[in-house]
Structure 1
Amino acid sequence: MRGHCDVDLLASIGGSRPGSSDTALGWVKNALSTTFWNTTVVIRRPTVVVLFSGGTETWEVLPAFRTSPTADTPVYDIPGASSGWMSAAPTAHLDYVTAVNQKAGLNNGAKKLARLAKAWKYYNAVPVSSFYLEMRAAEYMDVQTYFDPATDLCRFLEWLNKIKLAQMNDPTGKASRFSPCSSDATYATALSNLNTAATRARKALNAQEAGSQSNAFEWWNLVFNGRFPSR
C-alpha cells in the first residue's frame, strides 16, 4: 500500500495467562506506551495498535499465551475479537496461506489479493480484521486457476458481501473460528462499507471490460477512497 506500512506482530508472553483478555491487552498497551511514549497506542481488539507517523505506519500487536507443548505447530490463546479468549495457530495459518499462494497458475495471488483487500480496509478505515481478510483471500484463491487483480478483487468483495462477513472455520483445524469484527457495531459498519465497495468494484470491472478505462479508474479510485495510483 503506497503511503502506508502495516506490521502484524504476535507477542508470546511467558507465565500464566490472566483470566481476562482485557488484562493482557492492558499489559501490552502499557508496555508499548512506556516504550513509545510520544506515539499513540490504542487497544483495538483483538490487538494493541501503535500508530506511528500519524497513522501512516501501524503496528498491530497481539498478546499470546502458548498452550501447546510441541514446537512444530504451536497453538496460543489470544484475545477474542469481542471478548474472552480464542485459540490461534500462526505457523499453521502461515503454511496454509503459503501453500495456496504457491499453487500453479496463481502467480502469488493469495498474498496479492490479501494486500489489495487490506489496502481497501485501511484507506477506508473499515473495522474488519486484517487476519480475517488474509485467511478469506487464501480460501477464495484456493479454488481459482489464475489470478487477475481487478477481476478477483471484485469477485472477492462480492463474495464477502454475499456471505455477509461470516465467521470462518479454521482451515487447518487447529484453532478457533475467526471473527471478522470486534463488536456488533463494528460488524454493521464493516458490512455497510463492504456493500459499497462491492458495488463500486463491479462498476469498475464492467467499465474496464467495456473498454472505458477512464471510467474504470474513477470507480476504482472510489473503492480505494481516492488513493488509487495515478495512470
Structure 2
Amino acid sequence: MPATVEEAFDRFLPTLATSLKESQSAASHRTSVEARLKSDFGLKTMFRTGSFGAGTNVRGYSDVDYFAVIPTANLKANSGVTLAKVAQSMRERFPLTPNIRVNGPGVQIPFGDDGAERVEIIPVDETGQTKLGFRSFDMPNEAGGWKFSSPESHKAYVDEIDTRLGGKLKPLIRLAKAWKFYRNVPIRSFYLEMRVAAMMEQEQVILYEIDLKNVLRALWDDQLANVSDPRFPNDGFVLSACSSASSRTDALSKLANAATWSEQAMAHKHDNKPSAAIGKWNLVFADRFPKYGL
C-alpha cells in the first residue's frame, strides 16, 4: 500500500513493463511475416526496432516494429508505392486479419487489440554504416520519399545513458510514454524517447517524480519544438513531435495539464501531503496510478 510518492512510483513501474503474454504475442507471427516478405520482396533480414527493440515499450499499448531490409532493386523510388505493395502482400498472406494498412512509415498488421499484437513492418534499404559503425538505412518518410535511419545507433545511445544511470532512464521513458498513451496525447513515441534521453544525458541520478516533472515542464517550455537528433547533432536530422498542426495543438493542451499537475504533486509532497501528491499523479496518468493507501 503506497504511503509515499516514491512507493507509488515503485509500484506503478512494473505494471508498464512487458508481460510474458506480450512477449509471446510479439514473437508468434514473425516467422510467417518473414516468409512472405522473402517470397515477394527478397527480404534479406528483419529485426525488431522501436519501443520493443529499445526496451521502453508500455504494456498493452506499444506496437511491435520491425525493420524489413529489402534489396534496393525491389524498392520503388516512391516509398508510398513500396508501402502499398507490402500492405497488399500482407493482406494476401493474412486474409482473415482485418484493417491491414499503411500507417505512417510502415504497414500495420493488427493481429489483435493489444499493442504487442499490432505488428508494424517498415520496409528499408540498407545504405551503409554510421561513423560509429552502426548500420544505416533509408526508410519511408511519410511523404513519398526516403529518409536516413539508424535504430541500432539510437538504441546504443539510450542503452549507454541508461547503464550510467543505474537502469533508470528506460523506466523514466516508459513513464513519459505511459502518460502519452493513457491520456491519448498525439506525440510521436520516438520524439519522447529521444527528448527524455537527451535531457538525462548530463544528469548524475534519476528520481522519477522529479525528473518526470522536469521533462513535462521542459517540453511545455519549448512548446514541443523541433529539435536536432541528439544522436546525430551535427548532421541536420530534425525530430518533430507531432504529425500535424492539429495534433500539436491537442498535444500542447494535454501537456499543459500534465505539467501543472506534476508541479502541484511536488508542492503537495513538500507540504507533507502524500495523499494529495499521489492524487495529482493519478490525474497525469488518467487514474492508472496507484491510490494512496490502497
Q: How does 1:62-101 map to 2 (within 5 A)?
A: 62-68=122-128, 72-80=133-141, 84-101=145-162
CA distance in 1, matches of 2:182, 2:110: 15
Give the TM-score normalised by the residue count of structure 2.
Answer: 0.68
How many residue pairs are counted as aligned between the two chains?
229
Provide TM-score, normalisation by structure 1. 0.85
Structure having greater relative contact order (Cα 8 Å, sep ≥ 6):
2
The one-letter amino acid of 1:160's match is L
Q: What is the distance in 2 between the residues matched to 1:155 and 1:218?
A: 18
CA 1:113 to 1:83, structure 2 compared with 1: closer, same or farther past 3 Å? farther
Which runs of no fewer than 5 residues in structure 1 stay unpaired? none
CA contact (8 A) 2:80 2:143 kept: no
User: 1:176 is aligned with what amino acid?
Assistant: F
- List structure 1 runs of 4+ shifted beyond 6 angstroms: none
CA distance in 2, matches of 1:33, 1:50: 9
- Letter matched to residue 278 of structure 2: F
Shift of 1:56: 4.8
Residues 69 and 149 of structure 1: is their aligned pair in 2 closer, same or farther, counting only changes over 3 Å? closer
Q: How far off its partner does 1:128 sit? A: 1.4
**1:14 equivalent in structure 2:** 71
Which residue in the other structure is 1:228 paired with? 289
Counterparts of 2:251 and 2:142 in 1: how far apart (Å)? 14
Paired AA for residue 205 in structure 1? M
Partner Cα distance (2:268, 2:183) in 1: 22
Structure 1 vs Structure 2: percent identity of aligned residues?
Answer: 33
Unaligned runs of 5+ in 2: 1-15, 18-58
1:139 paired to 2:198: yes
**TM-superposition CA deviations, 1:135-154 (whole Å, max 9, x none):** 11110111211111111111
Q: Any conservation in 2 of the 1:109–1:141 contact (CA below 8 Å)? A: no
- 8 Å Cα contact 2:66-2:121 kept in structure 1: yes
Q: Whose Rg is larger?
A: 2
Counterpart residue type for residue 124 of structure 2 = A
Q: RMSD of aligned C-alpha atoms?
A: 2.6
